[in-house]
Every structure is written in C-alpha cells, then in structure tokens.
Chain A
Amino acid sequence: MHIDVLEKRWMWLVGLMVVIMLGTIFYTALANAVHPPSNVETIDSTRLHLSEEFAEDKLGVETMADGSVRVTMVAARYGIFPQHIEVPLKTPVTFRIATPDVLHGLHIPFSNMDTMVIPGFVSEVTTQFQFEGEQPMFCNEYCGLGHHYMWSRVKVVAK
C-alpha cells in the first residue's frame, strides 16, 4: 500500500502528540498523587439530622487539640449549612460533609477544596487556604431547581 511521505510524517506527528499528551496526564497524576476520594465512609442519609456527628447543633468550625481545624457541614436542597463559616489562613482544615437528600458537589474558589457529596457517604477533604478574604462555597453538581441558589460564605482570616 502506497502512503505518501507527507502523510507518513503527519501520522508520526499525530501519534507523537497523543503519546506526549497521555504521558503528561499520567505523569502529573502519578507525580502529584491525583486520585479519587479515598475516604469511603458510609452514613444513613435519611437519618442524618438524627446522627451524632451531623446533628444540627454540631455543625460548624471546631479547632482540634493539634491546632488543625475541623469543619462539619451539611449540603441539602438548597443550602449549605452553616451558611457562614470562618476558617484560619494556612492551617490544615478538614471538611467533613454529608447530604440528607441528593448528590451535591462543593467547591471553594482559589483553593483545592472541591468534593462531591454523595447520599449515603461522608465526604472528607483536607486543605490549607492560601488567600485571605471571603469566598463563596457553592454547589457544582446539578441537584434540582434551586441548584444555582446553593451557596454559602467562607471567610478565610489570618491567625
């Protein structure tokens, strides 16, 4: 079968591009340890408000003995509770979030806090905030008619 020289060169070039791109993805994923959420922890979503950890009066920001911060939150149609939280700058902050209803996703801009919140599971993310100021925390998984109203305020303050 005759293949034109120019065609052959393009085939090599395209093949090389695919290898480079896949290589980049694999390298960054492995080198930066990108992985799916590793915290697999189940909870009964229908009884979430009756649970020990996610009871309404237990939600909020708590400073642990080692100086790190734990934030317990609930994402429910259509809000993120508590609606206002204050977290310290450049300190390990562990979010523990659950939902009593449907799938939600929570994201805070200018940070790597981004997680799905799946009914029946507890989502846990640990991050450090690098920038001071107020940011929205919003839902980025379509969850229903009020999805685009689902956001809360996160204030990052210097210690």
Chain B
Amino acid sequence: MKGRNTILAAIALIVGAGVAQAGPSSQVAWTVETVKLVKSGDPEKGKQLSAMCANCHGAEGVGMAPNMPSLAGQQADYTYKQLADYKTGSRANPIMSSFVAQFSDQDMADIAAYYASMPLPASGQGATGDAAAAKTLVRRGDGKRLIPACAACHAEPDFRNHHGAPKLEGQHASYFVDTMKAYGNGSRANDVYSVMRNIAKVLTDEELKNLAAYYANPGN
C-alpha cells in the first residue's frame, strides 16, 4: 500500500511538474457556473468530507505544524480553486493531489464552504521577522519594483478579497515564507498571469520574513 502511494506520488509529481510548465496556470475560470457552484457549498457535508484533512490542517482548521497551512476562515473561492488546481495538476503536491483525486467539484465546494465557515486563526506559528517593518509594503507597496500594496488584493480581515486572493491573517509564518519562495522560483505557478510570481521574485528574504510575521500576528 505504502509502495503504491509512493509510485502514485511520483507520477503526480512528474505529471504535475509537466503541466505547471506549459499551458494555463490554472484551469479554473470564474464563470457564473463556477461562482454559483462555490456559493452552493454545504459546510455540513464539507465537514464530513474533510475528516482526513484534519490530520494536517487541524480539526479547527489550524495547521498542525508550521509548514502546514491553516485553512480556517479562508475564502471559499480560494480554497475551491486550490483544490481544483491540485486535481488538474496546476498546483503540484503529491499528497494533496492524491487526496483530491476522489473529490467531485461539488465535494470541493463543500469542503471550501466548511473552512470558510470558521473564524480566521488568531495567530500563526514560526514568526521570526519584524512585523512593523512590513507595514510599508502591506499598505504602500513599492512602485519602483512594480509591487502593489499587499492590502490592495489581500484586504483587511473585515473585507472580502476578490477571486484568487487568499486571506493571509493568522497564517503560519514558515508556510507563508515557503509559499512566497515557491512563487519566486516558479515551483508554484497556479497564480493566473503570474500576479504573485512577479511580486515574489523581487521581494528579499528579509522582506518575506517580515511580511510573514505581520500576517502571523494580525493583532499587532
């Protein structure tokens, strides 16, 4: 069984990497049908379907380790898109791809609705940077490097982000940095039109650490 999983994982990795290189960065299109599907998500069904997810993402939607993302309070459209991207191989991760393979589009909408029904985590683990130093980037960006303010897309907690932009508050700092580095080196490429890859590749390690600290402790 374990051997079969490893082989499956290897296949998923090869296929996933191949798909991520060429073609569209995501197969998800925000058509009226997709928006309605995500809205129709049933949190109760999602709760039943996500029993396995809790092993890593926690019963309360808070990642069990600093490298496992918290999903609580995440916008349903974002969670849905990530699940769909794992399924089509637009986002490569052998573990996630093998889990998602069994889910239908409606299942993914239900799971997304379940996590969206929880409150955002109060704080994330693993912050080592200086949160205050990140405020300029969050609120003003850096025009010279073509970096928009983070808050332009990742709005304050009380406001909704537009499709494609996740909530970042309370995310584990280590996961935040890992994700941004993956965008920076292109190993994660499911952001349509390189919206995040363009930004991540020009941010310094220091800035990433500071931003991670800022979002891990949104109360500060």
Report Cα–Cα, A150/B143, bound state, in Å: 9
Residue A121 lies at the interface, judged by CB distance under 8 Å to chain B: no
Residue A23 lies at the interface, judged by CB distance under 8 Å to chain B: no
- Which residue of B is nearest A50, CB measured? B24
- Which residue of A is nearest B155, CB measured? A145
B148 and A79 form a contact (CB under 8 A) = yes
Report Cα–Cα, A104/B151, bound state, in Å: 19
What number of B residues sit within 8 Å (CB to CB) of A?
27
Number of A-B residue pairs having CB atoms within 8 Å of each other in the complex: 74
Name B109-150 residues within 8 Å CB distance of A.
141, 143, 146-149
Report Cα–Cα, A50/B25, bound state, in Å: 9
Q: Which of A57, A59, A74, A146 contacts B152 (CB 8 A)?
A: A146
Residue A46 lies at the interface, judged by CB distance under 8 Å to chain B: yes
A83 surroundings in chain B (CB, below 8 A): 146, 198
Residue B103 lies at the interface, judged by CB distance under 8 Å to chain A: no
Name B142-171 residues within 8 Å CB distance of A.
143, 146-149, 151-153, 155, 162
Nearest chain B CB to A53 CB, angstrom units: 12
Nearest chain B CB to A97 CB, angstrom units: 13
B24 and A56 form a contact (CB under 8 A) = yes
A145 and B151 form a contact (CB under 8 A) = yes
Name B20-50 residues within 8 Å CB distance of A.
22-27, 29-32, 34
Name B91-122 residues within 8 Å CB distance of A.
none
B193 and A100 form a contact (CB under 8 A) = yes
A76 surroundings in chain B (CB, below 8 A): 192-193, 195
Report Cα–Cα, A75/B26, bound state, in Å: 17
B152 and A152 form a contact (CB under 8 A) = no
Q: Which 5 A-B pairs have the closest CB atoms?
A: A146-B152, A149-B148, A47-B29, A146-B148, A145-B152
A-B contact pairs, 9 of them (CB 8 A): A46-B31, A47-B29, A49-B193, A74-B193, A77-B162, A100-B193, A144-B152, A145-B151, A149-B141
List the interface of chain B (C-beta within 8 A of A): 22-27, 29-32, 34, 141, 143, 146-149, 151-153, 155, 162, 192-195, 198
Known contacts A47-B29, A83-B146, A145-B149; can you find 13 more A-B pairs with CB under 8 A?
A: A49-B26, A49-B193, A50-B29, A56-B25, A59-B193, A76-B192, A79-B146, A79-B198, A83-B198, A145-B152, A149-B146, A149-B152, A150-B148
